[in-house]
Structure 1
Amino acid sequence: MQSLLLGTKDNVNYSYFPMPFDSGAKIEIVYRSPDSSAGNNAIPVKGKIYFRKEKRDREKEGKFYVYWNSNFNAPTGEPHLLLKGKGKGHYVGTVLQAQGLEPGMTLFFEGDDVTTIDGEVRVHGTGSEDYFNGGWYALLDRWDRKISLPLHGALDYSLPFSRTGGYRLFISDKMPFNEEIHHTIEHGPEENNKPSRLYFNSLLLC
């Protein structure tokens, strides 16, 4: 993933999302070794942090939140929840990795996205691949492999392994809400009946 604001390039992870704070901030990197015998071997890490000393304008500037949700076996008949929250803010991005449990096709990626904001349905999409600006996927030179663009892209694509994923940044088309937001995406073209494992991050400025 090499988007405009978030990704990895030349073995460097980067994030340019603004992350305002009022009194203090803490950044951590946690390493979990799959091998318990690895001990406390040192791993060199270099980082660069950009900041300014001006205080956050609480009336105009929100904070940055990331909501993580995994669904290891999405229940039949229910869409996958991207976000359900109350308050005021802007929905600014989605990162989704999806693994189908039926090899050979990615039909779980044919479901609609539905966004209800302040009690009103504002968006009803026509399919997960369209949500990530990747319509007509599974065709040569379309959404048939990993691809990174500034605001959207495919994280992976494999028909034999029934695996795909995507990201989308809502920058010029961010979704503002004043009271609440309910954001879902289906897994399957109808009745949410395609078994899959879903992992995603929702990005918010509130």
Structure 2
Amino acid sequence: MQKNNMSFLKNLTTVADARTARASSWDQSGRNKDYWLVNAGDTAVMADIEGPGCINHIWVTTFCREILGPSIQHPVLSGSVAPVTEMENAEGVNWELNDPDYYRKVLIRMTWDDFEGPSVLAPLGDFFCIGHSMPSSFSSIPFNVSSRPCEELTFGGTASMNCYFPMPFNKRAKIEVINENERPLGLFFHIDYELYHEETPDIAYFQAAWRRDLPCSGWGNDLCVNSPEVNSVPNLDGKENFLMLDTKGRGHYVGCNLSVLHFQGSWWGEGDDMILIDDEEEPSINGTGAEDYFNHAWGMQRNQSPYNGTIMHDGDTKGYQVSYRFHLTDPIHFKKHIQISMEHGHANHLSDDWACTAYWYQAAPVTAVTIQPVEERIPLKRTFDIPKPAHQVELTPEMQEAYRSRNERMEKFKVEKAEQIRLNAARTAPSEAGNKELAHKVKEEFDKEK
């Protein structure tokens, strides 16, 4: 049976037998501390929902900061309100930096129904199309990111993240955040969903997986891109390509975001996409270049559309590129197996840093998604050595006293700050329980309407 892929707006023209609900980080005491604090090494359950139902929207914003010096604000007062005073490093008031790696160190995990392993497991940032742990504002149909201009294209910059992929479930939906960082994570979120009286037949579960090659196994990184020497090498089977997705089962692939850090200083995107479906040994779907797969041409341009585009352009960032392509009207179907890959340079001659989040829907049984360890996920950064002074200044007694005073104040500040972190983190578990209790209450009331 053929489906009308553009009919989602028609849902608004009929009345549905559904109940709308939300799980969120709202302050369940009625005050204004509307975030959760997830300690280093901890996991927070954002939503645990009884089905049948469907998650229609997820909004998240986060903060994770390193304190470099003591604030003149009292930790107890600043710890009892929304964390707005730390957003700007006012001179002499705060000295904090965004943790540069936390978008890759924090994971989002989603588990559907009674499957043992997760169907979604990806770095929090990359799931929402924040590549290299550097947010950049963009808008597409399934995802958008909005970042403050002063924090765009900075490692660990703050951002608002939205996902609109529908995520159906028949028995249970569980969404978690796993903090594999050394610092606590501040987490604001909404998870908007619907409940139904009947299970979804022929359900296809939402899936997402992330992987990275650092570097890709290139054979000729010292050969110029698109040169006659490189172009003379054939690649028909794609066995050394960068692997974007490889899964067994029945379903349809709906797109990806790709982050590349290019080292050669030429052009990263000369490679082709290749797609194997079911029992194929050689791909039946072959592309003509990375920019062509992302539906641009003659390189990637600095623009975005509902289905494809550039989030971060390598010409603006000295080699960092983030691109996306969503197959919303042209999903790629498979009955047994699908493998999606792309050449890193023609015939895979380049050795760049590639990372991809792939999205697809799949019928049961669903293979549990895995991910590389945290040390293999850290983004690379272009750095420079800070020059040392020609001679060491001899400290006067007043200078020595300045250091002593600062160190004393910092030790006291750390103790008080740690206590506020402990108190705020202790709020998370009761909030998790409150969300689950509220979801159960809404479900019971909805069931009474049958």
Tell me if TM exceeds 0.5.
Answer: yes
2:313 corresponds to which residue?
Answer: 157
Q: Give the SS at the match of 2:176.
A: coil
- Which structure exhibits the higher relative contact order, with contacts defined as CA atoms closer than 8 Å and separated by 6 or more residues? 1
Residues 144 and 158 of structure 1 are in contact (CA less than 8 Å); yes or no, is this contact kept in structure 2?
A: no
1:6 aligns to 2:143 (yes or no): yes
Q: Give the SS at the match of 1:82.
A: strand
> Residues of 2 paired with 1:88 and 1:7: CA distance?
28
Identity of aligned residues (%): 28
Q: Give the SS at the match of 2:292.
A: helix
> Residues of 1 paired with 2:259 and 2:144: CA distance?
14
1:127 aligns to 2:289 (yes or no): yes
> Residues of 2 paired with 1:46 and 1:167: CA distance?
24
Q: Give the SS at the match of 1:25.
A: strand
CA distance 1:44–1:201, shift in 2 (3 Å): closer
Q: Give the SS at the match of 1:195.
A: coil
Q: Which moved more, 1:62-71 or 1:47-56?
A: 47-56
1:66 corresponds to which residue?
Answer: 208
CA distance 1:167–1:52, shift in 2 (3 Å): same
For residues 82-106 of structure 1, the C-alpha deviation after alignment (integer angstroms, 9 at most, x for no partner) is 111111000001110011122x222
> Residues of 2 paired with 1:44 and 1:82: CA distance?
29
CA distance 1:48–1:118, shift in 2 (3 Å): closer
> Residues of 2 paired with 1:125 and 1:6: CA distance?
24
**Greater strand content:** 1
1:6 aligned partner, one-letter code: F
1:203 corresponds to which residue?
Answer: 359
2:271 corresponds to which residue?
Answer: 111
Q: Give the SS at the match of 1:68.
A: strand
1:51 aligned partner, one-letter code: E
1:110 aligned partner, one-letter code: E
> Residues of 1 paired with 2:197 and 2:298: CA distance?
46
> Residues of 2 paired with 1:54 and 1:136: CA distance?
51
2:208 aligned partner, one-letter code: V
**Greater helix content:** 2
Residues 7 and 13 of structure 1 are in contact (CA less than 8 Å); yes or no, is this contact kept in structure 2?
A: yes
2:192 corresponds to which residue?
Answer: 49
CA distance 1:96–1:54, shift in 2 (3 Å): farther
Q: Give the SS at the match of 1:187.
A: coil
Give the drift of 1:171. 1.2
Residues 92 and 205 of structure 1 are in contact (CA less than 8 Å); yes or no, is this contact kept in structure 2?
A: yes
1:140 corresponds to which residue?
Answer: none
CA distance 1:183–1:44, shift in 2 (3 Å): closer
1:183 corresponds to which residue?
Answer: 340
For residues 111-166 of structure 1, the C-alpha deviation after alignment (integer angstroms, 9 at most, x for no partner) is 000111123433100000100011112xxxxx343x32101111211247223221
Residues 94 and 167 of structure 1 are in contact (CA less than 8 Å); yes or no, is this contact kept in structure 2?
A: yes
Which runs of no fewer than 5 residues in structure 1 stay unpaired? 138-142
Residues 20 and 56 of structure 1 are in contact (CA less than 8 Å); yes or no, is this contact kept in structure 2?
A: no
Which runs of no fewer than 5 residues in structure 2 stay unpaired? 1-137, 148-158, 220-239, 363-450
> Residues of 1 paired with 2:350 and 2:290: CA distance?
13
1:101 aligns to 2:263 (yes or no): yes
Residues 64 and 205 of structure 1 are in contact (CA less than 8 Å); yes or no, is this contact kept in structure 2?
A: yes
Question: TM-score, length-normalised on structure 1?
Answer: 0.83
Give the drift of 1:17. 0.8
Residues 269 and 289 of structure 2 are in contact (CA less than 8 Å); yes or no, is this contact kept in structure 1?
A: yes
CA distance 1:193–1:12, shift in 2 (3 Å): same
Question: TM-score, length-normalised on structure 2?
Answer: 0.40
Residues 83 and 202 of structure 1 are in contact (CA less than 8 Å); yes or no, is this contact kept in structure 2?
A: yes
> Residues of 2 paired with 1:56 and 1:3: CA distance?
30
Residues 218 and 349 of structure 2 are in contact (CA less than 8 Å); yes or no, is this contact kept in structure 1?
A: yes
Give the drift of 1:183. 1.0
Give the drift of 1:198. 0.5
Match of 2:172 among 7, 18, 24: 24
CA distance 1:56–1:63, shift in 2 (3 Å): farther
Give the drift of 1:31. 4.8
